[in-house]
Amino acid sequence: MIMDAKVTLPSDTEIVITRTFDAPREVVFAVWTTPEYVRRWWTSPDAPLIVCEIDLRVGGRWRYVSRNAAGVELGWYGSYLEIDPPRRLVSTEGFEGGSGAEAITELVLTENDARTTMIITVRCPTREHRDDLISSGTEVGLNRSLRRIDALLQPTPTKEYS
């Protein structure tokens, strides 16, 4: 069982995220698709969602916009292609300010012994799109790297790497 999210790149255009939850899949599906809950997990509390719209119908649109303390807004949007609660949800996903190209995200939930395994497969139109998507996640990684660099620049008595 995977209780920590696992991220793999099975091909040049795909990203797969897997995690298991100690909950039935009806509840997992509801937490994925209900704005009240999505607001609590999509972004961290330092960049809360100021927009969280979900029109859960085939062809319906979804849109999330976060804003951090500095006023920086990030927006995600798309539409629903297939809805089969609580097993499967297929939607498109774009990034506001991005190229306009959209990835197709498939959420698959399987339940075993009251535990639900979530498999999110993101299929991108091109390798470049996939790489951009991963690099956008490095906003977080970048901040951590900058902190590491800051730490390295602090004059400390510890031994330096040569």
| Segment near another protein (CB under 8 A); pick from 35-43, 62-70, 81-89, 92-100 | 35-43
Render the burial of 58-93: b for 16+ CB within 10 Å, e for the rest: eeeebbbbbbeeeeeebbbbbbbeebeebeebbbbb
Return the SS3 of 149: helix
**37 is a contact residue toward another protein (CB under 8 A):** yes
Binds another protein by CB under 8 A, chosen from 41, 57, 87, 126: 41
CA dihedral for 89, 92, 96, 97, sign (positive or negative): positive
Binds another protein by CB under 8 A, chosen from 1, 9, 58, 72: 9
| Side chain identity at residue 157, one-letter code | P
Residue 48 Cβ vs another protein, minimum distance, rounded to whole Å: 12
Place of tokens 């292609």: 81
**5 is a contact residue toward another protein (CB under 8 A):** yes
Region 97-126 residues binding another protein, contact defined as CB under 8 A = 118
Report the residue number, 26 or 58, with the smaller CB distance to another protein: 26
**26 is a contact residue toward another protein (CB under 8 A):** no
How far, in whole angstroms, is CA 109 from its chain's centroid? Answer: 16
**134 is a contact residue toward another protein (CB under 8 A):** yes
Give dist(CA 21, CA 28) in Å, integer: 8
Please give the residue ranges that form the binding site for another protein (CB under 8 A). 4-5, 7, 9, 12, 15, 17, 19, 21-23, 27-28, 31-32, 37, 40-44, 118, 127, 133-142, 144-145
